[in-house]
Amino acid sequence: MTRAIRFPAREIALASFVLAFAALLAGCNTVEGMGQDVKAGGRAVERAAE
d(CA 15, CA 32): 26
- Structure confidence at residue 26 (pLDDT): 78
Indicate yes or no: pTM above 0.85: no
The Cα 24–Cα 31 span in angstroms is: 10
| Euclidean distance between CA atoms 6 and 13, whole angstroms | 15
Per-residue model confidence as pLDDT tens digits over 9-50:
888 899 999 999 888 777 777 777 778 888 988 898 888 887
Sign of the dihedral through C-alpha 10, 15, 16, 20: positive
DSSP H or E segment with residue 36? helix 9-49
